[in-house]
A and B are shown apart, each in its own frame.
Chain A
């Protein structure tokens, strides 16, 4: 194989002067220092150029960071108006949301009962709970007499909002006549209690006084504690129980909240107070709870919600978009509330809770103030976004009573 080489025969020899032209030890030494001693090995205070350069770079980086951060803050502010915080989104996913004002809570009624005895408890609206003996599944080390029963009731829109209950099921609203939550606890540790459940196969019987004309339309719903969806309990027995007094009293002498038992565990009836002669018997519905939780006696509204979707922007009186944590749609002459979930200042949902009736909307701001707008009529389909100007309360709503007054005060309710 032949290789290509350039062959010089008797080449001229460079003179000493020509060789010395290339000789430069200073340059080689400098190259050596550059190679083995990078600039950062030299202390900054001995290298003013590098020091000034570094200061300049840091200053520019700081200015850029400052400018970017300002821009980010502006964007975050806009985003804050448009989007809700993470916890609310999670609540929205659960479709279950409490009002943000801490003071808005229902009054809960509690009873200390003896777990291994059958007993009856009368609530302040005349409802009677019949609890069989050994109804609760108690921890093995727990004495049966230490059961604490807690009952919570809701009837009005404000109370439904306070309980944070969604009132939609299968795209329809439930008009509640009565919502009842029953829980039972046993002492768990000092100052705390542990929730217990009903023993398998045990049922609590509930008798609720109702008006005669509502008997046929009422249905029983139970709230699934995990999904927060109302399930119709149509198979539960709902039987009219005539010949019962509709007298409601909070007087302990009338039996409210005080139960006495005989040796066999039977309730000793209290002597009745004087009964007015004009008192008329009313109907009583009876049903059973197979598990503790929330039940609702209510009427399904025929008009399905969510059939027409509009995009709405709720603003304050000055026209600034409001950041609403919760929003409820209320229809005239209906004792129900539609929960709407505002994700941003402009959001799409069925504004017309009841298309043929004026609707009102109530929403909580993050600081607990209440924003309201009433008598929203039919919406124009041609508009892309409907701007709805709300009135905002001067201060956060402090308790349930104030919330009830504000909602009742809305025109059209």
Chain B
């Protein structure tokens, strides 16, 4: 069976759920890397793949994703002396740098940002949004999602991706985007409301954009 991005993500997220012992170990690795940049290699090996995939989903091209990921780790090494634990895993700090690098790249290149979505994930999200729980509406769900995505600001897209497509907790979502956890919750709620409204209009046949 073909591996999907969603399965990959789930495995990654499982690995990301760190207990206290793992968190302590990770912090020790960070401290070692702060003392000797060569020891950053351990963190590089540990997080390279997930950062690469994070970037790849937004860049849409493998080579471009490789270049941006290299830049992400270089900036992480340069900024590492200033890193301090803020209640989120070290990986969230890397995601934040990666998110900024991707946005910076598309601003400089003036290109179109890529959004990678999986149909199963869309079904799950829209199923949560659809209060009537209608069945076999996969095509309509996808249509509503695509229409809504095209009307959303890049900042909201980022929230959708992080929260629904990558299933991150609100604390990490807020940290990566640079807003508070509560603010992230409010914004995501509003997005869900927009999706619900649009879906109802589609189902009722009287929606006007």
Contacts and interface: CB of A to CB of B under 8 A. Distances in A.
Interface of A: 1-11, 13-14, 16, 18-19, 21-25, 27-29, 31-33, 35-36
Contacts of A28: 44, 70, 73-74, 77
A175 B78 CA distance: 90
B37 A29 contact: yes
Contacts, number: 101
B24 interface: no
Chain B contact residues: over half helix, strand or loop, or mixed?
A: helix
Given A11-B60, A22-B52, A5 B149 contact: yes
22 contacts: A2-B150, A2-B151, A6-B114, A6-B115, A8-B114, A8-B115, A9-B142, A11-B60, A11-B116, A14-B52, A14-B53, A19-B48, A19-B53, A21-B66, A22-B62, A22-B66, A27-B70, A28-B44, A28-B70, A31-B70, A35-B74, A36-B78
Interface string B149-190: 111111001000000000000000000000000000000000
A23 B43 CA distance: 13
Contacts of A5: 112-115, 149-150, 157
A23 B112 contact: no
A29 B37 CA distance: 8
Interface in B31-51: 37-38, 40-41, 44-45, 48-49
B112 A6 contact: yes
Contact of B57 (A11, A24, A27, A32): A11
A5 B48 CA distance: 26
Contacts of B40: 25, 29
Given A5-B157, A22-B67, A36-B78, 19 more contacts: A2-B151, A3-B150, A5-B113, A6-B114, A7-B115, A7-B116, A7-B149, A9-B119, A10-B119, A11-B5, A18-B62, A22-B52, A23-B44, A23-B48, A29-B38, A29-B41, A29-B77, A32-B78, A33-B37
B65 interface: yes
Nearest to A13: B5
B45 A25 contact: yes
Given A5-B149, A8-B117, A13 B53 contact: yes
Contacts of B41: 25, 29
B193 interface: no
B69 A13 contact: no
A6 B146 CA distance: 11
Interface in B105-137: 112-119
B8 interface: yes
Contacts of B44: 23, 25, 28
Count chain A CB atoms within 10 A of each CB in B8, B38, B66, B78 and give the residue with the most: B66
B56 to A, nearest CB: 6
A21 B157 CA distance: 29
Interface string B60-95: 101101110110011001100000000000000000
Contacts of B49: 16, 19
Nearest to B117: A9
B47 to A, nearest CB: 11
B21 interface: no
B57 A1 contact: no
A27 B118 CA distance: 34
Contact of A6 (B37, B38, B60, B62): B60
B206 interface: no
B112 A4 contact: yes
Contacts of A14: 52-53, 56, 62, 65
B4 interface: yes
Contacts of A13: 3-5, 8, 53
A36 B40 CA distance: 15
Contacts of A18: 62
Given A21-B66, A25-B41, A3 B154 contact: yes
Count chain B CB atoms within 10 A of each CB in A6, A21, A24, A28 and give the residue with the most: A28
Nearest to B121: A10
B151 A1 contact: yes
B74 A10 contact: no
Count chain B CB atoms within 10 A of each CB in A1, A16, A23, A33 and give the residue with the most: A23
Nearest to B142: A9
A36 B75 CA distance: 11
A37 to B, nearest CB: 10
Nearest to B67: A22
Contact of B114 (A2, A7, A10, A19): A7
A18 B61 CA distance: 12
A31 B38 CA distance: 12
A343 to B, nearest CB: 63
Contacts of B149: 5, 7
B57 A22 contact: no
A337 to B, nearest CB: 82
A4 B52 CA distance: 24
Contacts of B152: 3
Nearest to A27: B70
